[in-house]
């Protein structure tokens, strides 16, 4: 049905569409405004496309991709990103500048996990 292809197809910021944050298995989506604001800020200083490789995840999808239980992805507080023509170390510096509360550095898989968790500042590497 044509209508369903349009679900979540909403421009929420100059360089972001809500559909990019939706769960790939069910199209459900949760997105905290604080996370979006920080991603907009990051996009602005990078001046390059920011790809959301994983945004909201329903619990079933989170299990499928091996996410931790109670992942911040499941409550709309986290996004994994990749940026064109930018190495991960450089990207990490920018993310630190914006001070995401949680930052995961995934060297082999080549992405950054960013979140706005309400608890204390957390950094990890994999
Ligand atoms: Zn899902
Ligand atoms: Zn993540």
State in Å: Cα 102 to ligand 2 middle. 9
Indicate which ligand has the atom closest to the C-alpha of 54: 2
What integer pLDDT is reported at residue 4 of this predicted model?
76
* Residue 70 confidence (pLDDT) above 70: yes
Taking ligand 1, which is a single-atom ion, which protein residues have CB atoms under 5 Å away? 23, 25-26, 58, 61
State in Å: Cα 105 to ligand 2 middle. 10
Assigned CATH for 14-125: 3.30.1380.10
12 phi/psi in degrees, rounded to 5: -105, -10
Q: What Cα–Cα distance (Å) separates residue 116 from each residue in 17, 56, 123?
A: 19, 13, 12
Q: What is the mean pLDDT of residues 61-82?
A: 96
State in Å: Cα 42 to ligand 2 middle. 16
Indicate which ligand has the atom closest to the C-alpha of 73: 2
Return d(Cα 57, Cα 61) in angstroms, integer: 6
Indicate which ligand has the atom closest to the C-alpha of 25: 1
Structure confidence by residue, pLDDT tens digits, 6-59: 999 999 999 999 999 999 999 999 999 999 999 999 999 999 999 999 999 999
Which pTM was predicted?
Answer: 0.94
Residues 6+ apart with CB under 8 A from 61: 23, 24, 25, 26
15-49 burial by CB neighbour count: b if 16+ within 10 A, else e?
ebebbbbbbeeeeebbbbeebbebbbebbeebeee
Domain spans of the chain, in order of start: 14-125
């Amino acid at each position: 049905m044509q209508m369903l292809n349009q679900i979540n197809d909403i421009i929420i910021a100059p360089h972001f569409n809500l559909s990019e944050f939706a769960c790939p298995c069910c199209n459900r989506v949760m997105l905290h405004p604080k996370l979006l604001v920080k991603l907009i800020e990051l996009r602005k200083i990078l001046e390059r496309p920011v790809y959301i490789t994983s945004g909201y995840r329903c619990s079933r999808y989170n299990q499928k991709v091996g996410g931790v239980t109670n992942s911040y992805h499941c409550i709309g507080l986290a996004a994994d990103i990749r940026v064109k023509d930018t190495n991960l170390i450089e990207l990490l510096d920018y993310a630190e500048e914006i001070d995401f509360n949680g930052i995961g550095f995934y060297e082999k898989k080549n992405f950054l996990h960013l979140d706005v968790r309400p608890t204390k500042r957390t950094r990890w590497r994999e």
